[in-house]
Amino acid sequence: MEFPVRLASSLLLAAFLSGCDGSVEPSEAELADIRAATQEFGSELKGQLVAAIKASGPEGAIGVCKIAAPAVAEAVSQRRGFSIARTSLKVRNRDNAPDEWEREVLEEFVARNEAGENPANMESWAVSEDKATGIQVLRYMKAIPTQDVCTLCHGTAISEPVREALAAEYPDDRATGFEVGDIRGAFTVRMALPQ
Ligand code: HEC
C-alpha cells in the first residue's frame, strides 16, 4: 500500500515546516531582527523625547513627539525592511489604534501584568495570511512599560501647561492615568515571510 506511506511522509513534512500545532513559526533570526528594531525605535524616540523636555519642558516636547514618533517609526521600518509602529488600548493619536489582533494581545499583556508578571520582556507573535494578497505575515508585539518620565504626559497628575498643550493637539486623548509599571502600550510589527 503505497498511498498511506506517502500521506504519512507528507504529513511529517508539513509538521516539520509548520511547527507541531500546524502554525508557521518565525525563525530565531527573524525574531532577533524584530527585537532589535523595537530596541532601536524605543531608544531613538526616548533620546529625542528627553532632549526636547530638557530644551523646552514637557509641554514644549509634545509637538516634538507628534512629529518624531511617526518619523522614527518610518525610519526604522525603512532601515529594517518591515513595518514597526506603536499601539495601545488607550491611544493619544487615533492613527495608533489597535486592530482586533493587537487589541487581544494588549488585553492579554494587561492581564498578565495585573497578575504580577514584569512587562519588560512580554512579547507575543502569530503568523497570519493577509486576506488581500495571500501573503503569510508575521505579526509581533512587545509590551511598553510606563517609566517615570512617561508620567509627565501620560500619568495621573499632569501639570496644567501639559494638560492644555495636549488638549490643543489631541482633543480625543485617552492616554492618561498611567502609573509607573503599567503597560502603556506595545510595539507592533508586520513582517512579510518568505513565501
Ligand atoms: C512630552 C510628552 C510625552 C512624554 C514625556 C511621553 N509621551 Fe508618549 N506620547 C506623547 C504624544 C504627544 C503622543 C502622540 C504621538 C503621535 O501623535 O503619534 C504619544 C504617544 C505614545 C504612544 C503611542 C500610542 C498613543 O497613545 O497614541 C505610546 C505607546 C507612548 N506615547 C508611550 C510613551 C512612553 C513609554 C513614554 C516614556 C518613555 C512616553 N510615551 C512619554 C507625549 C509624550
Is 184 buried (19+), middle (13-18) or exposed (0-12) by CB count in 10 A? buried
Q: Which atom of ligand 1 is nearest to the CA of 61?
A: 1
Q: What is the pLDDT of residue 23?
A: 63
- Grid coordinates standing for 145? 512599560
Q: Is 183 in the pocket of ligand 1 (CB under 6 A)?
A: no
* Residue whose CB lies within 8 A of the most ligand 1 atoms, among 154, 173, 174, 183, for a mutation test: 154
Q: Is the pLDDT of residue 91 over 50?
A: yes
- Contact indicator for 114, 158 with CB cutoff of 8 Å: no
Which tens digit of pLDDT belongs to each residue from 117-144? 999 999 999 999 988 999 999 999 999 9
Number of CB atoms found within 10 A of residue 192's CB: 14
Q: What is the pLDDT of residue 109?
A: 98
Q: Lowest-confidence range among 1-15, 22-36, 44-58?
A: 1-15
Q: What is the pLDDT of residue 13?
A: 39
Q: Is 66 in the pocket of ligand 1 (CB under 6 A)?
A: yes
Q: Is 84 in the pocket of ligand 1 (CB under 6 A)?
A: no
Is 111 buried (19+), middle (13-18) or exposed (0-12) by CB count in 10 A? exposed
Q: Measured between alpha carbons, how far is residue 11 from residues 5, 54, 77, 87, 174 in Å?
A: 10, 60, 37, 38, 49
Give the percent of the chain with pLDDT over 70: 88
Q: Is 72 in the pocket of ligand 1 (CB under 6 A)?
A: no
Mean of all residue pLDDT scores within the chain: 89
- Grid coordinates standing for 171? 482633543
Q: Is the pLDDT of residue 110 over 80?
A: yes
